[in-house]
Amino acid sequence: MSTKINNKFQNYQNISGLFYKNKMQIIKQLICSKNRTPHVPIQTVANDYSQLKNNQFVWFGHSTILFKINDQLVLVDPVFNEVSAFAPHFKYTNEITTDILPEIDILIISHNHSDHLCVKSLKNIKAKNVVVPLNNKQHLAKLFKNEIIQELDWFQSTNINGVNITCTPSQHNSQRTASDKNKSLWSGFVINDVYYTGDTGFNAEMFRDIHKNLPEIKYCFMEMGQYSPNWPTCHMQPSETVEAFNILNGKQLFPIHFGKFCLGVHDWDEPAQLAKGFETAFVGQIGGIYQLEECVGKVYVHESFL
């Protein structure tokens, strides 16, 4: 379970979830980087997602993923709108909005940062059930009925229509206003045998505990974008994503947290380019429909990132 100090949630080993090594270097990189956005629209597709089959998934860029699990449509961290003038939404060949979404059976939000909890997007989403980490219900009070929202602590679980959902630790932070820093919990989730990291830095002990408690994990949707050596504790470096995947003993790695906007200082396509050199990594087309088990053992990066 999570811990608090002075009413603020803490990371494993009380590691800071927001630590900048060189702020001036960060500002310089953000101003001078020339390849943080694609020069042409990214090739995307839009489909009828109401007809998904079990164990199919759709990645909509960044950390927005739609799954069909045990006949339930499960949507994670839906962001379909601009979240920052500093990081404009990439142009897509087929614009993807909330209009294409069917009614969602289970909506999951990992933490309260605007690139994961986007109020503009959530206003247009119909959901039957909502699952969030502790003290995040307050952010959704005007969007969904109170009785359909469940809050979970780390390693606490709920079962909704045969879909077992466990809230897992992540090494990060939370904040939406000047006065609420770390007062809402951040997390990942395991959904049956699918693991979603949320946002997290690397912590070997934390990942070992996740594997110990949830050895059923097969399919790992793990953050591998918006990283920098200048903020090492809140986002994993690509090599750390691979190390965490190996600790979890997963069957297939799906790198995420890129492809929609660039909040970091790396090139917009760098995560996908690096994924080509991994032993296992699947980066599909944004909006494409894929079958989880058919991705196992593959190294695949869609041409839109090449």
Sorted by where each begins, the domain ranges of the chain are 39-305
**Residue at token pair 């799954």:** 67
For residue 159, give the 3-state DSSP assignment: strand
- Amino acid (one-letter) located at 239: S
Residue 178 confidence (pLDDT) above 80: yes
Query: What residues contact residue 47 under an 8 Å CB cut-off, 6+ apart?
Result: 58, 100, 287, 288, 289
pLDDT one-digit tens code per residue, 238-248: 999 999 999 99
Nearest CA among 122, 38, 15 for reference residue 305: 38
Q: How confident is the model at residue 18 (pLDDT cuts 50, 70, 90)?
A: low
Least confident of 7-16, 156-165, 214-223: 7-16
C-alpha gyration radius of the chain: 18
Q: What is the pLDDT of residue 36?
A: 84
Least confident of 22-26, 168-172, 183-187: 22-26
pLDDT one-digit tens code per residue, 93-132: 999 999 999 999 999 999 999 999 999 999 999 999 999 9
Q: What's the CATH code, domain 39-305?
A: 3.60.15.10
40, 50, 181, 240, 287 from 264: Cα distances, Å: 19, 33, 21, 17, 23
- Amino acid (one-letter) located at 87: A
Q: How confident is the model at residue 88 (pLDDT cuts 50, 70, 90)?
A: confident
Q: How confident is the model at residue 195 (pLDDT cuts 50, 70, 90)?
A: very high
For residue 291, give the 3-state DSSP assignment: strand
The strand pairing partners of 163, in sequence order, are 160
Residue 272 CB neighbours (<10 A): 21
Statement: the pTM of the whole predicted model exceeds 0.75:
yes
